[in-house]
């Protein structure tokens, strides 16, 4: 099998974790090659994500490091053996590779922690809102490209209703909910969708109000699989999102999200009647924004 020309994020992440295992064991490339019975050049290609590694060799490398968490090693083996195929496969060569990477990460997640200061999170957007966002984007694209991107985004939303649906905890700044995008009806439908989605048992929605603390500057999503060490932070950017997997980054963004949960308004609870709200909360704020649009 030839070397991969354009490894996916999952393949690159597997290679990075193999390198971390090697370095934590204090092994050079040559020493790790001897442990696994491989050529040094093969090790370099594995660590760059250009080729894979058999479970037997991976476990041999982990064993050379002494006391390594077997749950983590098992999950890493599974990561390396994954086919990478799913519903998103049919979109290859049609949408940006980064979108395919996000869909694959979401499909294997148990928890999604999302913060959005300017827009409604993609997994909670209506078709109309998603279309308006793409057509008003900073990057000039064709109508066909916009339609395909919206189609892909809406397809991603199915992850919240699957048999192994992850939990989604989203914090949205009030600024994102006040932007009408030039069409009050569009935003009315979007606010109603947020209330509807909050009824799902695996969805938690909080609003960060204007009178709260200074907001975190950029959007991010912490995507956690079953094993926390293999989590990824996707930091939004206009041109190219960042994918962070270092333990320090996971801890830093995880702590930031936890702090925002404490200062944001209490989560939306659509089962509570309006008159029962004794304190300012997320549902009350959404309803206050919604009434003028009805």
Report the run of H or E that residue 100 belongs to, with start and end: helix 97-107
Q: Is the pLDDT of residue 275 over 80?
A: no
| Residue 273 confidence (pLDDT) | 62
Are 3 and 95 in contact, with CB atoms under 8 Å apart? no
| Whole-prediction pTM | 0.92
pLDDT-based confidence at 216, cuts 50/70/90?
low
Neighbours of 279 (CB within 10 A): 7
| Residue 271 confidence (pLDDT) | 74
Q: In the predicted model, what is the mean pLDDT of the chain?
A: 90
CATH number for the region 9-81 comes to: 1.10.260.40
Task: Specify the domain boundaries for CATH 3.30.870.10 within the chain.
Answer: 87-293
Q: Is the pLDDT of residue 226 over 90?
A: yes
Q: At what angle do helices 40-47 and 9-24 cross, to 10 degrees?
A: 130
For the stretch 135-185, pLDDT in tens is 776 556 778 888 899 999 999 999 999 788 999 999 999 999 998 887 889
For the stretch 50-73, pLDDT in tens is 999 999 999 999 998 776 789 999
Give me the mean pLDDT over the 85-113 stretch: 95
Name 172's bridge partners. 116, 207
| Residue 239 confidence (pLDDT) | 65
What is the rounded distance in angstroms from the CA atom of residue 153 to the CA atom of residue 145? 12
Are 30 and 123 in contact, with CB atoms under 8 Å apart? no
| Residue 277 confidence (pLDDT) | 54
Neighbours of 66 (CB within 10 A): 9
| Residue 36 confidence (pLDDT) | 92
Q: Please, what CATH class does the domain formed by 87-293 belong to?
A: alpha beta
Q: Is the pLDDT of residue 238 over 90?
A: no
The helix/strand count (H/E) of the chain reads as: 12, 6
| Nearest partner of 181 among 133, 120, 230, judged by Cα | 133
CA–centroid distance for 108 within its chain? 10
Task: Specify the domain boundaries for CATH 1.10.260.40 within the chain.
Answer: 9-81
Backbone dihedral angles phi then psi of residue 28, each to the nearest 5 degrees: -80, 170
What is the rounded distance in angstroms from the CA atom of residue 196 to the CA atom of residue 204? 11
Q: Which of 53-67, 117-131, 217-231 has the lowest mean pLDDT?
A: 53-67
| Residue 140 confidence (pLDDT) | 64
Give me the mean pLDDT over the 116-122 stretch: 94
End-to-end alpha carbon distance in the chain: 60
| Residue 139 confidence (pLDDT) | 59
Q: Is the pLDDT of residue 27 over 90?
A: yes
């Amino acid at each position: 099998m030839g070397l991969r020309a354009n490894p996916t994020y999952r393949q690159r992440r597997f290679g990075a974790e193999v390198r971390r295992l090697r370095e934590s064991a204090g092994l050079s490339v040559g020493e790790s090659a001897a442990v696994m019975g491989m050529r040094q050049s093969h090790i370099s290609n594995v660590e760059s994500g250009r080729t894979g590694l058999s479970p037997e060799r991976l476990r041999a490398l982990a064993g050379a490091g002494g006391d390594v968490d077997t749950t983590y090693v098992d999950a890493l083996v599974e990561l390396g053996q994954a086919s990478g195929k799913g519903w998103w496969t049919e979109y290859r060569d049609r949408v940006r590779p980064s979108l395919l990477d996000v869909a694959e990460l979401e499909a294997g997640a148990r928890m999604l922690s999302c913060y959005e200061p300017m827009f409604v999170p993609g997994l909670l957007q209506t078709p109309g809102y998603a279309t308006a966002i793409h057509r008003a984007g900073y990057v000039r694209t064709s109508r066909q490209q916009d339609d395909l991107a919206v189609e892909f985004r809406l397809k991603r939303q199915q992850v919240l209703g699957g048999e192994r649906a992850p939990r989604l905890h989203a914090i949205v700044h009030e600024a994102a909910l006040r932007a009408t995008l030039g069409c009050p009806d569009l935003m009315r439908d979007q606010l109603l969708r947020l209330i509807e989605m909050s009824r799902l048992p695996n969805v938690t929605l909080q609003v960060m109000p204007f009178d709260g603390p200074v907001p975190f500057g950029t959007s991010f999503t912490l995507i956690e699989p079953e094993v926390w060490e293999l989590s990824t932070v996707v930091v939004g950017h206009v041109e190219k999102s960042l994918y962070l997997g270092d333990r320090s980054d996971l801890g830093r963004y995880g702590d930031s999200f936890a702090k925002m949960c404490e200062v944001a308004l209490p989560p939306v609870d659509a089962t509570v009647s309006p008159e029962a709200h004794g304190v300012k909360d997320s549902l009350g704020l959404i309803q206050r924004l919604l009434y003028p649009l009805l």
